[in-house]
Amino acid sequence: MVKKQKFRKFVILNKKAKNMETQELKFEFKTRKGYDFFEVISALQKAIRRCEEENAVYWALELYKSGFSKALWSRLLIITSEDVGLAESGIEVSINALYNNYLALIEKKKDSPEALLPTLHAVVLLARAKKSRYIALLCEYDEFVGYDYRDMPDEALDKHTRRGKAKGRGLLYFYKESAKLNNAKKEANEEEIEQKIVKKISNV
């Protein structure tokens, strides 16, 4: 059984600095082979981004065997949206299922060797997956560029809002305007059912 590597407290070398961003910090987070913890996290993510499966497994094992399994899983969950995102529909469900398997195994036995199975399963899935940073770019766009102010769309002011109620908008407005769907995949009898509901509401 590999003992969990304990974090050593960081030392602030420049105590006169005005804020944390300008302070020089010294961390001593080391893995079992002497790697810097943060560099291993970075190497793992770069390997997954480049679809370098063997390297991804190596760095994941280095983290896991050094007692950093929680940090490893935290990074895998981030990578799922940051680097794979919309490119692999449904992969977030698979990764979440594997994470739940991991949690169930370590709950049953804290140092369960079998917990490594779903962990590496997730690493390989992410390494082989198609990649997209679109979701990450949306977050970064808001941070660095920002969106211009937008007026509230009229269709949002329905019976569920104060202004919508003040305008006298009820179920009929909701079905005709607020419930409109673009890019809809409808069932064979869906429109017929909706028309009957609208007709019934109109007669009330």
Question: pLDDT per residue over 139-181, tens digit each?
Answer: 999 999 999 999 999 999 999 999 999 999 999 999 999 999 9
Are residue 35 and residue 122 in the same domain, yes or no?
Answer: yes
Mean pLDDT score of the chain, rounded to an integer? 88
44 or 199, which is more confident: 44
Inter-residue contact 111 to 4 (CB < 8 Å):
no
The SS3 call for residue 32 is coil
Residue 77 placed within a domain = yes
Same domain, 182 and 133: no
Mean pLDDT computed over 95-112? 93
pLDDT digits (tens, 9 = 90+) for 110-130: 878 999 999 999 999 999 999
Q: Are residues 99 and 196 in the same domain?
A: no
Mean pLDDT of 78-94: 97
As a whole number, mean pLDDT of residues 18-22 equals: 48
Could you tell me if residue 5 is inside a domain?
A: no
Q: Are 76 and 126 in contact (CB under 8 A)?
A: yes
Give mean pLDDT, residues 183-195. 92
Whether 159 and 130 map to the same domain: the answer is no
The position carrying tokens 């202004």 is: 163
Whether 108 and 187 share a structural domain: no
Shared-domain flag, residues 124 and 162: no
Confidence of residue 2 (pLDDT cuts 50, 70, 90): very low
Both 44 and 109 in one domain: the answer is: yes
In this structure, is residue 75 part of a structural domain? yes
How many structural domains compose the chain? 2
The structure's pTM equals: 0.80
Q: Would 119 be classed as within a structural domain?
A: yes
- Predicted confidence at residue 16, as pLDDT, reads 42
The pLDDT, as a whole number, for residue 3 is 47
| Residue 144 counted as domain residue | no
Q: Judging by beta carbons within 10 Å of its beta carbon (0-12, 13-18, 19+), is residue 79 exposed, middle or buried? A: buried
Q: Which residues pair with 12 in a beta bridge?
A: 25
Q: How confident is the model at residue 11 (pLDDT cuts 50, 70, 90)?
A: very low
Residue-number span of the structural domain to which 25 is assigned:
11-139
Asked if residue 8 has pLDDT above 80, the reply is no
Q: What pLDDT score does 26 carry?
A: 55
Same structural domain for residues 122 and 161?
A: no
Residue 65 in this model has a pLDDT that exceeds 70? yes
- 159 in the same domain as 135: no
Residue 25 lies in a domain: yes
Same structural domain for residues 125 and 184? no
Question: Do the Cβ atoms of 99 and 122 come closer than 8 Å?
Answer: yes
Residues 95 and 185 both lie in one domain: no
Same domain, 86 and 113: yes
Residue 29: predicted pLDDT: 86
> Quick check: is 1 in a domain?
no
